Structure 1
Amino acid sequence: MQQKLFSFLFTCLLLISVSYGQDFQVSGRVTSQADGNPIANVTVRVQGKNLSSQTDADGSYTIRAAEGNVIVFRSLGYKERSITVEKMSTINIQLEAEEGSIDEVLVVGYGSGNNIGSVVGSQVTVRAKDIAGKPAPNAIEALQGKVPGLSVMTSNGEPSTTQSIRLHGSGSLGASSTPLFVIDGIPVGSGSILSTNPDDWESITVLKDASATSIYGSRAANGVIYFKSKKGKASERATITASAMKGYNNLATKNMMDQMMNSKELQAYWLETGFRTQAQIDEINQTFGHNETVWGDYYYKKNTGLDQYNLNISGGSEKMQYYISSAYYDQEGIMYRSNFDRVTLRSNLSATLNDWIKAGLNLSGGYDKRMSNPYGGNSLNGALSLMALPWYSPFDENGNEYYEERIPGLDAYSPKYLADKNLNEGVNKQFNPTIFLQVQPYKGLTLKSTAGMDYFDYRISALRLPSYLGNLNNGSASEEYQTGILKTITNTIDYRTLIHNVHDISMMIGQEATDYDESSFSASGSGLTDDRLTLLGQTIANGRGVGSSKSEYAYNSYFGRLGYSYNAKYLLDLSLRTDASSRFGKNNRKATFWAAGVSWKAKSEKFLQDVSWLTDLTIKASIGTQGNSAIGNYQSLATVGSINYDGAPGWGVSSPGNPNLAWEQQTKTTLGVRASFLNQINLDVEVYKRVTDNMLVSVPYPYTSGFSSITSNVGSLENKGIDVQFSANAFRSEKFYFTPYVNFNYNQQKITELFQDKEYWIVPNTGLSWAVGKPVEFFFPVQAGVNPDNGLMQWYVPGENISDSNFDPNNVTTTFNAVDLQQSTGLRRDAPFTGGFGFTSGYNGFYLDMDFAFVKGKYMINNDLYFFSNPYQFRGYNQIRGVRDYWKEPGDQTRYPKFGQVHQFDTGLLEDASFLRLKGLRFGYNIPKKLLSGQKFFKSASVYYVGRNLWTKTKYLGPDPEVDSNLALGVNPNTKQSSLGIQLQF
């Protein structure tokens, strides 16, 4: 009996082992739970066996397994998922993105894109939650302080302003250093970003190294910023998201305003310097009373409005997905005649027509009205209004504001009156459609055609009403229309295959054609006499004028990429692109750019797999070339213009052209290490060297040649530095999380060659110099301080080579000469240190996010200070308190010389404009889902507060340190915002 029982059990075990030991082929498709898109390069492994595979570009995989085996699906940026094999040969699964993970599929330059873990090139992605819901009209500011190596500056407080952007320093001395902007695969101008809704972006990815950017060739020398718009999710019912935000604007900093003297201080200073007698002061007080006007509070409005409303609908079936949105944004500037009012619409549709055809159509349109304050520069109606004497008042004794009367003493109209009588407005219509057709005739092969357009129609209207008392019965009007259209057609063939489950090979070839056409015309007239009749037709004949312009350029490009991965451990990426541009001479229109990148996922090595504290270790290296063609459209051509000679019209050569003009080329080398520790701490470190050759520079020539300059390919420039990015999940539990981050860049610039064998060149009227072996530096007479014996300002006498700084205290002079005393100050034009830090945190539904941005080593010529600290030159105007520190008697150690000396254009105006700024603060509460579970109307709800530029730390004495310029003069300073918002999802 025991023997029979033993035999029976042995037979059962044998049958079970046979059953489970029979392998069969399992296949399927891996897609994203978020949007249903396929995920490439997912590692598919049979647990406990040396069997693994990877998904291809379509998310498909095959692997051998047996019933009862566990298959593990793993991909960077997604939660790991395990499936037990049953009696089935097909397993389709969806992976859920990890919270805080970056974009799952990155289109690094055409083709079908790669999983972020298999991308060789260097890139940083900012996701939707960090972009939307900010009190700013465009999304570019969301990148400030978030991307190491990317400098983002908002140079003025106009709501319609676009940011200044540079990646890894200024890459050229003559051509633009602005990155290439791409929306859903179509290149666009930077102005297009202002006409789109930040809430529509799923992500913004900054492509940084040659491996990532060289495929864009002709315009990628300064990096690429890729905007990916939101799409609907597959097999999900329609989701409606509505949000509203309302807030107000104020000056971001009052540094300049707070330094101005009040009435008591200024009158005491005048008495002390002998500018006014006590009797004259008494007469002033008797005439104007004891007013104490803070003119900054009058010319800069307080608590101006900001409104933002968003509504979008997304969803889809298995075959079709959609995302439809509408938004309204309205921000009033703090200066009069400053406003931005915008409406945007977007419709993104994608459809799987059958098993091998997919199509999509993205439509984006914007309509906005822009007004900008016109009183910049040396205007007493703008930034220099702070010089108005504090005892003058814009209100009469009854508290009524002077409107049609000039302000007594100041002899100026109120800014409100000027705004009402001098009208200007820009109206922009933006349209950005994109359509694509994707065909997969058989597995691994993808053919894709994409066509897109970047179109704008901009109308500028200006009107000075005839009733304006400053020019009564002589009103004027002008109209200008600008239209531009950038058309791009791209065709690619993409093939991907996986051989023996270890050799992942991808190949892509493509062609792209770009054509741009811009035209404008304008008309103006004067002599209007009635506020009701202000059209151009009412102007007088002899006061009219007309103008027009036209400009075109085109590119034709061919490109290819080869990618190889061995066992998802060793990765290689090669790219090649040939561009032809109409901007260059006919013999030099074509240029070829290339890149090579390698990546080693060291954590996958056996000797590191058991190191539990090391979650990930990836080493990357790349080298490649990019091109820059960001110059005028006709620099290579000799052009003519109309002239008037002896009363008769004629023609004359206006530009000699340069038939040998060619591409500016750049070579960039990058080495990076990415590491993750304990699955909590992330660290990215990259070092780079960026060399620009054949720079496109306007080379000066003697006027005897008939021309002042000719655009040529000359000189070379080097930028090298390091990017560091750190983040950590410091605390994380079911109720609480705290995730800090820090990133920074150090960039060192050096000019290695100039033109005409020059060792240095002083850039006229800029206060800057170019010198071989140095970065772009400020070039000014250098103050040596006030002579304590006689109270005269001293300047260092330059050495024999004025491109070197000479601060010899024994070689100074008290005689100022702007030409003879100019020399290198040793101070850089571009800041070497930029970065940001902050954190995201939450507890039991509440959340608090803070983002800081900083710039260190930034200097700027504060031209406003020439007016605000020049009491002898501008007697009768208010000045800063600092001028009271002036020399009075021998032995005084003072900042300013004795009264009677004029403040010169020297390093006394050159200030440290480094700053630390709280760029964003967000505090809110997500209403718990259990409170919403009893109904089917709301899916989620949240309320929040959001602030921008709430706090600034700087030594700069001007209106705003964030101005990205060598010289600041009368700028409309940055603003800070505080807003309350609500978001509902249905």
Structure 2
Amino acid sequence: MLTSSGEPSATPSIRLHGAGSLGAGSTPLIVLDGFPIDSGSLVSMNPEDFEDITVLKDASATAIYGSRAANGVVYITSKKGRRGKDPVINLSSQHGFTYLANKDYFTNFLNTQQLTDFWVETGYRTQEQVNAILEEYPNDTQWYEYYYNEGAPTTQLNLNVSGGGEHSTYYISGGYFTQEGMAYRSGFDRYTLRSNLTTDIKDWIQVGLNLSLGYDERQTNPYGSNSTNRGLALLAQPFYSPINPETGRRYEGVIPGWNRYDPQYLADNNPSLGTNVQLNPSGFIQLQPFKGLTLRTQAGVEFYDYTISTQRLPSYVGSLNFGSSSEEFRRGLTKTITNTIEYKFDLGVVNNFSILGGQEYIDFDYERFLGSSAGQSDDRLILLGQGPESISVEQDRAEYVFTSYFGRLTYDYNKKYYVDFTARRDGSSRFGAENRYADFWAIGAMWKAKNESFLQDVNWLGELTFRASHGTSGNADIGNYNSLALVGTNQYNGQNRWALSTPGNPALSWENQTKTTLGVNMNLFQRLNLDVELYNRVTEDMLIDVPYPYTTGFDEVTSNVGSLKNSGIDVTLDFNLFTNQDFYVTPYLNFNYNRNEVTELFQDKDYWIIPNTGVSWAIGQPVSFFYPVFAGVDSETGDAQWYVPNEDPDQIINPNLDPNNVTTTFNSANLQQNTGIKRYAPLNGGFGLNAGYKGFYMQAAFTFSEGKHLINNDRYFFENPSVFGGFNQSTAVLDYWKEPGDQTQFPRYGVQFTQFDSRLIEDASFIRLKTLSLGYNLPRELVQTVGLIDGLKLYVVGRNLLTWTEYSGPDPEIDSNLTLGVNPNTKQFTMGVDIAF
């Protein structure tokens, strides 16, 4: 799991056993209390309401979820009450502050002295011109301190009540979370309410109702990418200042010299607010008319109503007396109904069977409406109706349906030998009329070897289990109407007309995946727990937007083509280093090593370079970066050099590159070739430590990624003084060629310092201290002397406290091929208290 943004409302990216598809989605299915939900819905939920999170990866475990489980399943169980328990009230409060996770990138820019000396040295400015500038602007500004709000506050409050009687359980909670983003016009406020109720109407009838309601307000800073209003703000010359010397405060408008708006002024005068209402009710009725037979019907709804309000105030000096306003509404409704029948029985005590059959129906409806206007002249009159110009209206509708039938047979002999078989038939409206249905299956086996008589007396072996599975699954994570030829409207000669907008593909069908896993779990000496799993994952008939000549009228058609293989190993290890009544130390380690290989493409191609990405698919190779390969600077002439590609540019460049087969003429199209650098990191994982002494505890969790690479597009702007003359640059540009014999990073001044070549592909491997918690549970007997309180815990939590990386950009954790103007991850310090009544 990688966090790609410091935006408070951002969602992390999750991959299980690699990227399973080149064209369709690779995000695992998120299941909450038995119902699939969109991963974005988690933003509007309170994680304090989650009891357990289980990751399912092997074919046997995921097969029952069928069509949407090709990339694995993340199963979340929300908290429930306990039968026969007195009510328990829990109140928690947290407050903290946010800072940049890593400042190395932000402090590595030329200061005033360095920049002006560089200008004089290269002849960009004379000393007299520099003196005149410094006389007017005698400053040395660290601009990141003004574009990022260090010390932004975070607050969280939670209250829940749980318990149960003889026939019922309940869990009711409310939560509030607010986080101010470090970038101006960035923030998140969330209000949540949850109620989970179950009750036994009769001994053989149980019903349950879960209600989850979330409301949040989110703002996202829009000035990334190529914007000098944040993402590229460090181009600002350090001798300018955002502080008005006459008032000692920020400028109300344009910053003199820099000629950009103050970031706070820009945020205040261009307000934007997204509000989301998230509703996830679900219920079930379960019948057990006689022993072993269970009938269950459950239904759930996932509903969101998202509104984005954006204005440009008429008082904004950038468009004085000409404001604008837009209102966008997005609404999505997913209905899921699942019916199952399960019968469990045994023969002769040692033969245990379970037969499950079921049906599932998922229906999704989406609509969007956008209205905008411009010409507002008064900050108090900013609604759509007050804008007489540029009036625009847009509307979209979309829907899809999944329908499925599934069954599972499981058998175990004497709790030692287990086997299961799952079959599922899935249908999706996203595919052609003749190809909407597909059949998937999986078989799994497990041997609990420790239960064998010959291992019963082996005291040092606490657990030994072998497991294996093989099965198929499908992927339908594409657009809703890719199989259909669609028409749209446009204007021609002042008249409305119809036109074919998408080509469609009536033969479009499911992407198919076959997966085999072998695993072993063991416990040694009652201290060491080890789980190892090997897997091989093959994806065929991938859903890819295949390029077509523009003469056809379309540039691409979604088709079932190509194949991809992922293979690797998962290892989980934890060790009870020391444990007694008062003291424990438990270190742990988990990692995944994955290798992906493109095994087939389309149109008889050996490779395909995805336009404008620097990434290519080449048969027999992992998904790799394709770029011109930099050959260094000629020490005699100061010219930049690039290696001439092989005859087959899809083949990895020879490690013994010929220094004579180079060119000083840069041409991106002619020089691009397989760099041999993998797009996806092969090794990802985490390690940490849980320890405690009496009431004190410590939890440290590290994450790491090895072999991760990113195209650092920021460097194209910050290491190009001749292209972006007059702007500030990284200190790296001082290492440029001046005279024959110089061994330098950059060529002579006057030659473009940086091109889009292999120099920009950086090793973004990292180790990050993701979480560090220190806390103290006050002794129960001491707390209860107060009378009302049953438990009290005090703690501090740090997130992203330390980062080790060679990556020179703002954040190595970005899950992308390219990074430019990213809003980086943040470091947080939080203090909290939990009280139980």
Q: What's 1:107 paired with? A: none
Q: What's 1:481 paired with? A: 329
TM-score, scaled to structure 1: 0.84
Partners of 2:581 and 2:107 lie apart in 1 by 47
Q: In the alignment, is the contact (CA less than 8 A) between 1:404 and 1:469 conserved in 2? A: no
* Shift, 1:936, TM fit: 4.1
Partners of 1:856 and 1:808 lie apart in 2 by 29
Q: What's 1:522 paired with? A: 370
* Shift, 1:711, TM fit: 0.3
Q: What's 1:304 paired with? A: 152
Matched, 1:754 2:601: yes
Q: In the alignment, is the contact (CA less than 8 A) between 1:621 and 1:672 conserved in 2? A: yes
| Counterpart pick for 1:852 among 690, 702, 723 | 702
| Counterpart pick for 1:240 among 66, 89, 111 | 89
What does 1:209-220 correspond to in 2, within 5 Å?
209-220=58-69
* Shift, 1:959, TM fit: 1.0
* Shift, 1:775, TM fit: 1.1
* Shift, 1:374, TM fit: 1.0
Partners of 1:393 and 1:424 lie apart in 2 by 27
Q: In the alignment, is the contact (CA less than 8 A) between 2:244 and 2:251 conserved in 1? A: no
Matched, 1:157 2:6: yes
Work out the number of aligned pairs and report it.
Answer: 833
| Counterpart pick for 1:279 among 123, 128, 146 | 128
Unpaired runs of at least 5, structure 1:
1-151
Q: Which letter does structure 2 place at the counterpart of 1:957?
A: S
Q: In the alignment, is the contact (CA less than 8 A) between 1:798 and 1:805 conserved in 2? A: no
Farther off after superposition, 893-902 or 263-272: 263-272
Partners of 1:166 and 1:506 lie apart in 2 by 32
**Deviation digits for residues 260-306 of structure 1 (CA, Å, limit 9, x no counterpart):** 011111122222212122111211111112x1110011111110010
Partners of 1:302 and 1:437 lie apart in 2 by 51
Partners of 2:166 and 2:351 lie apart in 1 by 31
Q: What's 1:872 paired with? A: 722
Partners of 1:719 and 1:659 lie apart in 2 by 29
Matched, 1:202 2:47: no
Matched, 1:373 2:221: yes
Q: Which letter does structure 1 place at the counterpart of 2:645?
A: P
| Counterpart pick for 2:382 among 534, 548, 572 | 534
Q: What's 1:84 paired with? A: none
Partners of 2:83 and 2:254 lie apart in 1 by 65
Partners of 2:620 and 2:805 lie apart in 1 by 30
Unpaired runs of at least 5, structure 2:
none
Q: In the alignment, is the contact (CA less than 8 A) between 2:30 and 2:39 conserved in 1? A: yes
Matched, 1:927 2:778: yes
What does 1:572-587 correspond to in 2, within 5 Å?
572-587=419-434
* Shift, 1:933, TM fit: 4.0
What does 1:451-850 correspond to in 2, within 5 Å?
451-540=299-388, 542-806=389-653, 807-850=657-700
SS at match of 2:689: strand
TM-score, scaled to structure 2: 0.99
Q: Which letter does structure 1 place at the counterpart of 2:606?
A: E
Q: In the alignment, is the contact (CA less than 8 A) between 1:181 and 1:189 conserved in 2? A: yes
What does 1:902-941 correspond to in 2, within 5 Å?
902=752, 903-941=754-792
Partners of 2:267 and 2:254 lie apart in 1 by 14
Partners of 1:934 and 1:354 lie apart in 2 by 42
Partners of 1:267 and 1:981 lie apart in 2 by 48
**Deviation digits for residues 912-969 of structure 1 (CA, Å, limit 9, x no counterpart):** 1111111001000000112134354211101000111111111111111111111101
Q: Which letter does structure 2 place at the counterpart of 1:241?
A: N
Matched, 1:227 2:81: no
* Shift, 1:654, TM fit: 0.8
Q: In the alignment, is the contact (CA less than 8 A) between 1:721 and 1:748 conserved in 2? A: yes
Partners of 2:253 and 2:502 lie apart in 1 by 50
What does 1:411-430 correspond to in 2, within 5 Å?
411-430=259-278
Partners of 2:247 and 2:283 lie apart in 1 by 61
Partners of 1:192 and 1:880 lie apart in 2 by 40
* Shift, 1:401, TM fit: 2.5
Q: What's 1:144 paired with? A: none
Q: What's 1:328 paired with? A: 176
Q: In the alignment, is the contact (CA less than 8 A) between 1:840 and 1:849 conserved in 2? A: yes
Q: What's 2:711 paired with? A: 861
SS at match of 1:257: coil
| Counterpart pick for 1:190 among 39, 46, 50 | 39
Q: In the alignment, is the contact (CA less than 8 A) between 2:540 and 2:564 conserved in 1? A: yes
Q: In the alignment, is the contact (CA less than 8 A) between 1:516 and 1:552 conserved in 2? A: yes
Q: In the alignment, is the contact (CA less than 8 A) between 2:28 and 2:74 conserved in 1? A: yes
Q: Which letter does structure 2 place at the counterpart of 1:915?
A: F
Q: What's 1:969 paired with? A: 820
Q: In the alignment, is the contact (CA less than 8 A) between 1:588 and 1:661 conserved in 2? A: yes
SS at match of 2:107: helix
* Shift, 1:808, TM fit: 2.6
* Shift, 1:499, TM fit: 2.2
| Counterpart pick for 1:949 among 791, 797, 800 | 800
Q: What's 2:29 paired with? A: 180
Q: What's 1:431 paired with? A: 279
Partners of 2:792 and 2:469 lie apart in 1 by 45
Q: What's 2:740 paired with? A: 890
Partners of 2:505 and 2:387 lie apart in 1 by 43
Partners of 1:776 and 1:329 lie apart in 2 by 40
Q: Which letter does structure 1 place at the counterpart of 2:230?
A: G
**Deviation digits for residues 671-710 of structure 1 (CA, Å, limit 9, x no counterpart):** 0010100111100010000000000000000011111110
Matched, 1:985 2:833: no
Identity of aligned residues (%): 56
SS at match of 1:930: helix
Partners of 2:460 and 2:334 lie apart in 1 by 51
SS at match of 2:739: coil
Determine which structure has more spread, i.e. the larger CA radius of gyration.
Answer: 1
Q: In the alignment, is the contact (CA less than 8 A) between 2:576 and 2:584 conserved in 1? A: yes
* Shift, 1:617, TM fit: 0.5
Q: Which letter does structure 2 place at the counterpart of 1:948?
A: R
Partners of 2:401 and 2:577 lie apart in 1 by 51
* Shift, 1:411, TM fit: 1.2
SS at match of 2:154: strand
Partners of 2:265 and 2:786 lie apart in 1 by 55
Q: What's 2:119 paired with? A: 270
Matched, 1:347 2:200: no
Q: In the alignment, is the contact (CA less than 8 A) between 2:698 and 2:773 conserved in 1? A: yes
Q: Which letter does structure 1 place at the counterpart of 2:745?
A: R
Q: In the alignment, is the contact (CA less than 8 A) between 1:839 and 1:850 conserved in 2? A: yes
Partners of 2:40 and 2:628 lie apart in 1 by 38
SS at match of 1:513: strand
Partners of 2:319 and 2:232 lie apart in 1 by 23
SS at match of 1:551: strand
SS at match of 1:164: coil
SS at match of 2:15: strand
Q: Which letter does structure 2 place at the counterpart of 1:599?
A: M
SS at match of 2:814: coil
Q: Which letter does structure 2 place at the counterpart of 1:918?
A: L
Q: What's 1:358 paired with? A: 206
What does 1:80-99 correspond to in 2, within 5 Å?
none
Q: What's 1:94 paired with? A: none
